Structure 1
């Protein structure tokens, strides 16, 4: 038997009915297959939160002012955000990347400086970023993961912070999947009905006034954001290092959509951690033909879904490695 057949047999012969552990069995199989072993391990788990501002935010596509991006990065660095709490609870390393916040930060041991600009350009009047800025984002994202790989990390999660970034994610989703923009746009940080309608109208105008991109890199050039582009590149680099990739919510999934457009095999290493309350995320997950671990009406971002799902990923590895088989436990199989 090859390694895939051995893994499935090992899972099936545990002291349980077939498929009784549901999604945990699929996760265990995925991890074992990625690591090409019957006894996989998770080492030095790390979550990276990419933060950047968006020029489009001044058009009122978010319920929050743009300065919240800067303020939340400071909150991350002061260990006061939800992602800090959940990472501490589950012994996950956390790094924060300034991919393009419209402010400057003092040096900090948990902050990675990779600023592509002081926020993307307003898509109403042109592309979100220049080709040089996109190239910088890809080089930066790759280098960040290359550096983390030296710490023996073999499972990595991706989160984000950026007021206005659900608009970029919706535009990326719409153009790459050829879906009507209305199916991809949600309330983001909590827009009311009037704000949601304004957001839809603005994004529809942007779709109509931009040429259709031919690939994910062209889409990122047009629609941004810096944090999504760096996340996309970081995911691709994580795949090159054969890391398990924990994908957070709607924004992170849009970055993964871009990454999978550039390298389809990356799906083999991806674990989708939660289904966001954002309207487009269900369709986005369906496009990958994957089930998320959690469905808890989360829409915070920051990588919180990754941190919350990580203990269940640990459980998948634990049952594969430690649970008795029918034979070893002298339990009768049917």
Structure 2
């Protein structure tokens, strides 16, 4: 059983994490009796925390919000999580570097020595994923505007830079019912129902500008499949620009388009040619690297072009044959 002070901190942490806790669940998590839970709740009330209890056989506790709520307390794991989040947040959101540093300094100042040492030892240096294009940071004010619309269920109007090859152009006045803000692979996405299509879409937030709340509310729709992460990763064109890579090629794979779209790096463009066949346009740092990436799908490959990709596939076939101890392929 934890000591009383540690148990009170854990109890407070649990009450902050969930709207309501049945007494039996709290007793089980704290490894104490129901009577001890009641006494600990009374101690929190004495410290000024407004803990409300529902009476009866299904008694439950909740921590009410209020102007007299004392400063929130963190347990060790929460404090470390907050510190790490503050150190990594500026890598994807612009305009919060100084605020995050000040917040981290404030939290560090009130930490016990053991936690300060742990935080100081965790020097987090986020690195770009070499399999992805550099993810642009997004403005914190833009995220706030989009998040407010998502929470309020309000239709948004915004301009959007649509990727359609070399001639990118900003399309004005997209009207979208915003449902989710998602960060995936270092990029922020707004998932919503595009009233102009109409249909579901994932918009790269760094391509959104001039968001305007229309004042019109919308009824919540059910996202296909119900899984926002799966929806974003299954989009054939997530707005990445494969032309930014030094090498770009096109192949046809005997594999389902949704599988290839989910796992292909380098800003892919995927077109379904049938239930188990698709066209893939992919970028990479070298022709050998591009040929190797295409081979990771464990599917039959037809190289459309360019000739450099054909040559790279031939070179790889020789290398792999030698590595496996087989005679080099003929004609390559």
Q: TM-score, normalised by structure 2?
A: 0.24
Which protein is richer in strand relative to its size? 2
Q: Which has the higher contact order (CA 8 A, sep 6+)?
A: 1
TM-score after normalising by structure 1: 0.24
Q: Which has the higher helix share?
A: 1
Q: Which has the larger radius of gyration?
A: 2
